[in-house]
Amino acid sequence: SRIQGLGIFITSYGVGIHSILGLATAFSEKDRLILISIKPPETNQFLLHHKISPDANDQSKIYSPVTVEQCELDPTNLTPFINSLEKMVDANRPILLEFPRNSIDQKITEEIPSIRSSPHFEPVKQEALDQIKKAKNPFFLLGKLTKEQRERLRELKATKCYSPLGRGFGMDDKWTLGTYMGEITPNLDAFIRKKCDLLVAIGLLNLECEFGRGTYFKQPDLYLENLSKTEIEEINKCNFKNLKNELPKYFSQSRYIDQIFFECSKFIDLFYCCDVSNAALGTVNHQIPFLLHSPHFLPMGSSMGFALGVHALGYRSLIIIGDGAFQSALSDLTTFRKYGWHPIIILLNNWGYSFLGVESPSINYRLLIESFNGDYYLADSVRNFKKYLMRAKIKRNRMALIEVRLSPQPTSELEVYLEKKVY
């Protein structure tokens, strides 16, 4: 909007509210900016990470101070839309346009015209089929397909899983192992690399898929729109071995982290401040008293803030936090040091894997905590962890950091369950 004189930003409800700062900047600079968003549905159910109030007008109220007009789009009446554009032009200020409420599940009644294939299509498709038949163990990643297409592809005997692209959470489908919104998870990626020699995406566009936040995970070798019944029968003649029964091995539960949480649960006189992901989900398996953690996954590093409040009340905290979240809350260590508070920090270190999607060099946590006049322990076994945890509890006048190194995979029972059910 600064460069061209007009900017258009399209986002969703919820996470899109983060755009409020950009809108405020455009409002103060007198930039013409159009924010197009989905109007929240009329529901009292919990959505991904928020809940809608009964009138569902939260979004308009939030944006109203930094927009000159808030308009709900109505295809039967374009007058409010035109008036909003005129106000934006006259005032040189942003406006909000919202898609009609409860329209996400409405069916499109217009007839979709048939697409004529290129004369070069058949030879190319035959080449793709030849690649599939030459493979030893192909893997099929199935995307957003029609009901008829899905029923047809159920007959495919090769290893396959369904990507719930555009479907959202909570879809209990036996095919949804290892993917969410087109993204391949670390466990499924490991399975494909070790067991399969060809990755075929059906009904998924390249631009729709986030295969490992860039190019870290294996990319599909073939992109197909669909497979006909005849083509499926031709592929099934190859007698590919279905490796799906081996998938659970790549979602195995780590008993090590479970024992770590069990040992923590014995210290009933400490407040437990748990961060997101493994840190929070692992504690759910145990009856841990005085537990504080965030109700959703957005505020990484929040456990450090919880712990500051615990110490301000005169108690001592035990913080369970991942390395990614810990790095985003390092400034809180200066506050602990300033007031002479001494928490026990259990650092679950998987080298930033859950946070970044790739393994990254680890910080020298020994040097870090010792610079704050604290004690560092590296727990390489449950036995040593128990010893270090007891030592840290006894030394009440010293901050302590116990580093627990993990492999880059889900480690709590609940997280493994979620990978199987949601992904």
For residue 321, the model assigns a pLDDT of 85
Q: Is the pLDDT of residue 264 over 50?
A: yes
pLDDT at 46: 46
Q: Which residue's entry shows tokens 């930094």?
A: 66
> If we measure between CA atoms, which residue out of 362, 346, 376, 356 comes closest to residue 283?
346
Residue 111 lies in a domain: no
Give me the pLDDT at residue 208, please. 43
Distance of alpha carbon 237 from alpha carbon 267, whole angstroms: 60
**Does the residue 418 lie in any domain?**
no
Q: Indicate whether 190 and 288 sit together in one domain.
A: no
**CATH number, domain containing residue 221:** 3.40.50.1220
Tokens 């075929």 correspond to what residue?
Answer: 200
Domain edge (last residue) among 194, 218, 251: 251
Q: Where is pLDDT greater, at 259 or 280?
A: 259
407 and 259, same domain (yes or no): yes
240 and 304 belong to one structural domain: no
| Most confident range, picked from 260-269, 273-282, 411-420 | 260-269
Question: What pLDDT sits at residue 398?
Answer: 93
CATH code, 22: 3.40.50.970
Last residue of one domain, picked from the residues 251, 270, 300: 251
pLDDT exceeds 70 at position 83: yes
351 lies in some domain: yes
Which domain range does residue 300 map to?
255-411
Is the residue at 223 inside a domain?
yes
Q: What are phi and psi of 317, to 5 degrees?
A: -115, 155
| Domain count across the chain | 3
> Residue 325, exposed/middle/buried by CB under 10 A (0-12, 13-18, 19+)?
buried
User: In the predicted model, what is the mean pLDDT of residues 127-139?
Assistant: 91
Which among 119, 118, 158 is positioned nearest to 142, based on CA atoms?
A: 158
Residue 354: closest CA among 327, 389, 329: 327
Q: Is residue 48 part of a domain?
A: yes
- Are 395 and 305 members of one domain? yes
Write the pLDDT tens digit of every residue in 274-289: 765 555 555 555 556 5
- Contact between residue 308 and residue 364 where contact means Cβ atoms under 8 Å apart: no
What pLDDT does 48 receive?
44
Residue 176 confidence (pLDDT) = 38
DSSP sequence for 116-182:
PPPTTHHHHHHHHHHHHHH-SSEEEEE-S--HHHHHHHTT--SEEEE--TTT-TT---TT-SSEETT
Whether 245 and 264 map to the same domain: the answer is no
Q: What is the largest CA-CA distance in the chain?
A: 78
Is 167 part of a structural domain of the chain?
Answer: yes
Band (148; pLDDT cuts 50, 70, 90): confident
CA dist 306 and 294 (Å) reads 9
pTM for the structure as a whole: 0.42
- Name the average pLDDT for the chain: 75
Task: Please report the pLDDT score of residue 244 as a whole number.
Answer: 72
**Cα–Cα dist 299/294, whole Å:** 7
C-alpha span between 313 and 262 (Å, rounded): 26
Least confident interval from 123-137, 162-176, 211-225, 280-294? 162-176
3-state SS assignment for residue 253:
coil
Q: Are residues 264 and 399 in the same domain?
A: yes
Assess whether 261 and 243 both reside in one domain.
Answer: no
Based on the fold, state whether residues 370 and 260 are members of the same structural domain.
Answer: yes
Q: Which residue has the tokens 């919880």?
A: 306
With respect to residue 337, please indicate whether it lies within any of the assigned structural domains.
yes
Per-residue pLDDT reduced to its tens digit, 210-248: 444 434 456 788 888 888 899 999 999 998 887 877 765
In this prediction, residue 254 carries a pLDDT of 47
Percent of the chain at pLDDT exceeding 90: 19
Residues 244 and 154 reside in one and the same domain = yes
Shared-domain flag, residues 324 and 379: yes
Residue 326 burial by Cβ neighbours in a 10 Å radius (0-12, 13-18, 19+): buried
Task: Among 251, 270, 295, identify where a domain stops.
Answer: 251
In a domain, 109, yes or no: no
Report residue 203's pLDDT band, with 50, 70 and 90 as the boundaries.
confident
Quick one: the chain helix, strand, coil %, rounded to 5?
40, 15, 45
Q: Are residues 262 and 245 in the same domain?
A: no
282 and 393 together in one domain: yes
